[in-house]
Structures are given as C-alpha cells and as structure tokens.
Structure 1
Amino acid sequence: MLFMAQMTVRIPHSLAPAFVEQLKADEKALSQQLQREGKWRHLWRVTGQYANVSIFDVASNDELHTLLTSLPLYPYMDITVTPLAQHGSAIVQN
C-alpha cells in the first residue's frame, strides 16, 4: 500500500542542542535504513521549510503508523497522511 506523508518538524528551542543533534542523527540513520528496505520509497524536502513529503510502501495502515511513531523526531512532527492508488492514466505501473 502506498501512502504520502507530509511531515513538518517543530523542535522546541528549549531542547538541548546536543540532544537535538542526536535526534537528527538517529532520524537520518532510521530513514536511510527504511529507504534501503524499500518501505520509504521517496523523500523530498519542502523548500524553505523544515518539512518533507515522503512516499511509503507498507503492508497496512498499522505498519505505517508503527513506522511513523518509531521516528526519533516523531514527537516534534505534524504529519498528514494520504493513501494513494494507482492512476489509470499513469504510464508507469507499480
């Protein structure tokens, strides 16, 4: 199942800089692992924002929920999820 997730990160300024840097490093490592596994198919930065648009390929809503809530930056994210379906006019089929 394909899902688009729009994620905006809002890290409080009150967090210790070292803690924030560790969160970012952990987030990067996990996101790259999920990309290698094929679950995080696409990752695009939203220009001018601490935000991204991502495409996930997972087995279920529950798997996506588990994946998103496992992200180290999850407590500081606003996430909007949209389920996707193949368009009949698309040249490339999944």
Structure 2
Amino acid sequence: MLYLVHMDVHIPDTVPAEQAAEIKAREKAYSQELQRAGVWVHLWRVVGEYANYSVFDVESNDQLHEVLSNLPLFPFMTITVTPLAQHPSAIR
C-alpha cells in the first residue's frame, strides 16, 4: 500500500542544540535504513521549510503507524497521511 506523507518538523528552542543534532543523526540513519529496505520509496524536501513529502510502501496502516512513530523526530512533527491508489491514466 502506498501513502503520501507530509512531515512538518518543529523542534522547540528549548531542546539543546547538541541534543537536537543527536536526534537528527538518528533520524537520518533510520530514514536511510527504511529507504534501503524499500519502505521509504521517495523523500522530497519542501523548499524553504523544515518539512518533506514522502512516499511509503507498506503492508498496512498499522505498519505505517509503526514506521512513523519510530522516527526519532516524531515527537516534533505534524504529520498528514494520504493513502494513494493507482490512477487509471498512469502508464507505469
């Protein structure tokens, strides 16, 4: 099942810079692991924002929830999920 996910990140100023850097490093490692596994199919930055649009390929709503809630930046995110279906005019 494919999902379009918009993630908007807001790390509070009260989080020390060193801690924020450590969280971001764990986030990068986890996201790259998911990309290599074929779960995180696309990752696109939103220009001028600390946000992204991503496409995930998972087996269920529950698996997507697990993947997203395990993101180290999850506590600092606003997430919008849109399920995707094949378009009848698509050639791929």
Question: TM-score, normalized by length of structure 1?
Answer: 0.97
| 1:51 maps to 2:51 | yes
- Three-state SS of the structure 2 residue aligned to 1:49 is coil
2:69 & 2:79 partners in 1: Cα distance?
10
1:43 & 1:91 partners in 2: Cα distance?
22
1:15 & 1:35 partners in 2: Cα distance?
28
Alignment of 1:36-75 (within 5 A): 36-75=36-75
| Residue 60 of structure 1: how far off its partner (Å) | 0.1
1:49 & 1:9 partners in 2: Cα distance?
9
1:2 & 1:48 partners in 2: Cα distance?
26
Q: Which runs of 5+ in 2 are unaligned?
A: none
1:86 & 1:35 partners in 2: Cα distance?
21
1:79 & 1:50 partners in 2: Cα distance?
13
1:45 & 1:88 partners in 2: Cα distance?
28
Equivalent position amino acid for 2:72 in 1 = P
2:4 & 2:88 partners in 1: Cα distance?
18
Equivalent position amino acid for 2:86 in 1 = Q
CA RMSD of aligned residues (A): 0.3
Partner in structure 2 of residue 20 of structure 1: 20
Give the total of aligned pairs: 92
| Residue 5 of structure 1: how far off its partner (Å) | 0.3
Measured against aligned partners, the alpha-carbon deviations of 1:4-61 in whole angstroms (never above 9, x if no partner) come to 0000000000101110000000000000000000000000000000000000000000
